[in-house]
Amino acid sequence: MKKNFILAIDLGGTNLKIALFNLQFRLKARKVFSTQCFAKKAILIQAILDSVENILKENALDLNAVLGLGLGLPGPIDIRRGIVHFFPNIPGWKRVGLKKILERRIGLPVFIDNDANLMCLAEHKLGSARGFMNAVCLTLGTGVGGGIIIEGRLYRGVDNAAGEIGHMPINEHGSNCNCGGIACLETYIGNKRILSYAKRIFKRKISLEELSLLAKMGNKGAKDIWSEVASRLGIALCGVVNLLNPDVIVLGGGIANAGRVLFQGVRQTISSRAMSIQAKHVKILKARLGNDAGLIGAAIMVKEGVRL
């Protein structure tokens, strides 16, 4: 049987998304589960296996029709050995040989990588970073992840752990981060921190979507929150711009949906605080592939194989 399909999973701190693509990366089926239901490692691994079985069954396919399974994961990954080092926002994972576990139990080739790397791969191949040789892509959600394209190729670093922009310290003192660091960017602009701050301002629970809508409608409290997020993010990106001199920075994830107030604030901060040559050159763009960028990147990884 011809292998016409690719399975892709995007595991985040909030959701597990699974999708079925054809070989042209067109989405054929997609399902979302809450990660918070899978508190233990063994339960989460079983959920991955069950989600694969269910999506194949619902689409009347068997494993012979599938080229492989790609997973985007929210933490540093050893892609050569298929090992999860740890997940900053999901407890219980440390040096887990996930690739071997899944290949043994599913019977498909399995590829794993950091979710932000895969978002970056997808945006560079098919999205907002397409056509640029040097790009930085960020996923802004429960965590803050990053991927780096240098001279047209994904840069991974000596331990395959490059791109952790969310864990750059942006202050000398600050809150402890789940990664073990102090005053990381993620502790200031991760969505849990934003929503906690918004709850204090509005005296009630509020969603990111509502906070974005209120800002677009001119609500001062909402605009002030997003302006502070933009300033924090912009300061971190000044360092990225000065260091890497990229053509483009692409922002994706739920926080990027804040829209103009976020992007305008980031651009203004970079313009005023980064070095003039680099600041003048770099473009700040919204991710084009939306919430499915990580899934698309995982599918690309399977089709092309991991290039080392």
Sheet holding 94-96, edge to edge: 77-78, 83-86, 94-96
- Are the C-beta atoms of 75 and 93 separated by less than 8 Å? yes
Residue 220 falls inside a structural domain: yes
Residue 124 falls inside a structural domain: no
Rounded to the nearest angstrom, the gap between the alpha carbon of residue 273 and the centroid of all alpha carbons in its chain is 26
Tens-digit pLDDT profile for residues 83-93: 888 887 777 78
Q: What is residue 36's predicted lDDT score, i.e. its pLDDT?
A: 66
Question: Is there a single domain that holds both residue 102 and residue 177?
Answer: no
Run of H or E residues at 225 = helix 220-244
Residue 14 falls inside a structural domain: yes
Question: Is there a single domain that holds both residue 20 and residue 100?
Answer: yes
Q: Is the dihedral of CA 149, 155, 161, 162 positive or negative?
A: negative
Residue 74 falls inside a structural domain: yes
Q: Please say if the pLDDT value at position 33 is more than 90.
A: no
Q: What is the CATH number of the domain that holds 211?
A: 3.30.420.40
Of residues 82, 93, 76, 87, the one with CA closest to residue 158: 76
Q: What is residue 308's predicted lDDT score, i.e. its pLDDT?
A: 33
Tens-digit pLDDT profile for residues 253-303: 889 999 899 999 999 999 999 999 999 999 999 999 988 899 999 999 999
Question: Is there a single domain that holds both residue 78 and residue 159?
Answer: no
DSSP 134: S
Residue 50 falls inside a structural domain: yes
Question: Is there a single domain that holds both residue 161 and residue 79?
Answer: no
Residue 194 falls inside a structural domain: yes
Question: Is there a single domain that holds both residue 239 and residue 183?
Answer: yes
Please state, for a pLDDT cut of 70, what percent of the chain lies above it. Answer: 97
Question: Is there a single domain that holds both residue 51 and residue 102?
Answer: yes
Question: Is there a single domain that holds both residue 199 and residue 94?
Answer: no
Of residues 199, 278, 267, the one with CA closest to residue 227: 267
Residue 123 falls inside a structural domain: no
Identify the residue whose tokens are 């069954």. Answer: 57
Of residues 212, 275, 11, 237, the one with CA closest to residue 137: 237
Domains identified in the chain, total number: 2
Tens-digit pLDDT profile for residues 190-246: 888 999 999 999 999 999 999 999 999 999 999 999 999 999 999 999 999 999 999
Tens-digit pLDDT profile for residues 62-85: 898 999 999 999 888 888 889 888
Question: Is there a single domain that holds both residue 141 and residue 267?
Answer: yes
Domain interval for residue 207: 130-287
Rounded to the nearest angstrom, the gap between the alpha carbon of residue 94 and the centroid of all alpha carbons in its chain is 20
Tens-digit pLDDT profile for residues 78-133: 888 898 888 877 777 888 899 999 999 999 999 999 999 999 999 999 999 999 99
Half-sphere exposure in the Cβ direction for 222 (13 Å, CA): 19
Q: What is residue 93's predicted lDDT score, i.e. its pLDDT?
A: 80
- The helix-helix angle for 191-202 and 208-216 (nearest 10°) equals 60
Question: Is there a single domain that holds both residue 190 and residue 208?
Answer: yes
Question: Is there a single domain that holds both residue 201 and residue 150?
Answer: yes
Q: What is residue 117's predicted lDDT score, i.e. its pLDDT?
A: 93
Tell me the C-alpha distance between 195 and 304, whole Å.
38
Of residues 267, 261, 268, the one with CA closest to residue 285: 267
Residue 233 falls inside a structural domain: yes
Q: How many CB atoms lie within 10 A of CB 199?
A: 12
Q: Higher confidence at residue 150 or residue 307?
A: 150
Question: Is there a single domain that holds both residue 213 and residue 245?
Answer: yes
Question: Is there a single domain that holds both residue 135 and residue 262?
Answer: yes
